[in-house]
Amino acid sequence: MKIDLGCLAKGYSADKVATFLKENGVTSALINLGGNILTIGNNQSKDDRPWQIGIQDPNHPRGNHLMTLSITGKSVVTSGIYERHLEIDGKDYHHIFDSETGYPIETDLASLTIISDRSVDGEIWTTRLFGQRSASIMWQIENIDGIEAILIDKDGHIACSSGIQR
């Protein structure tokens, strides 16, 4: 077993990289730390359009997207139970643990994506909210300025907070 600070370290690191790049005159960049994307400006290689960030379909192999977001100067952080998991005797075990039991959290969610200005905020909110009921997650997100969310349940149903254009 190995326990690390991955839940916050990637967000913190992405924000630090973005600060460094901006201080050195970079006006367009995509920082990808695996499940954690942070953009600076628009995509200059695509006629200065927003970056296109795919939201993975958790029920299909990597590269199959349920939706694509147009993102400029924002972070997109996704936590999910569909990549790092294993099945033993018909029971699926994933890497997101319940702090009370120490076992993988019981949830109907397959993935939770947070869109925010700072990447560390996305990491905090995906960690804090993952495993709660969808209605509770949406209520909380709708009451936080500058944070949006996309929830995908195990059956592939999508719920988006009010600030996300479908």
Q: Which residues pair with 158 in a beta bridge?
A: 152
For residue 90 the two structure tokens come to: 């018909």
What is this structure's pTM? 0.85
State the Cα–Cα distance between residues 165 and 160, nearest whole angstrom: 9
Q: What is the CA 30 to chain-centroid distance, rounded?
A: 15
State the Cα–Cα distance between residues 12 and 8, nearest whole angstrom: 6
State the Cα–Cα distance between residues 141 and 16, nearest whole angstrom: 25
Confidence of residue 131 (pLDDT cuts 50, 70, 90): confident
Question: Residue 43: its pLDDT value, please?
Answer: 95
Confidence of residue 80 (pLDDT cuts 50, 70, 90): confident
For residue 62 the two structure tokens come to: 């990597």
Is 3's pLDDT higher than 90?
no
Query: What share of the chain has pLDDT > 70, as a percent?
Result: 83
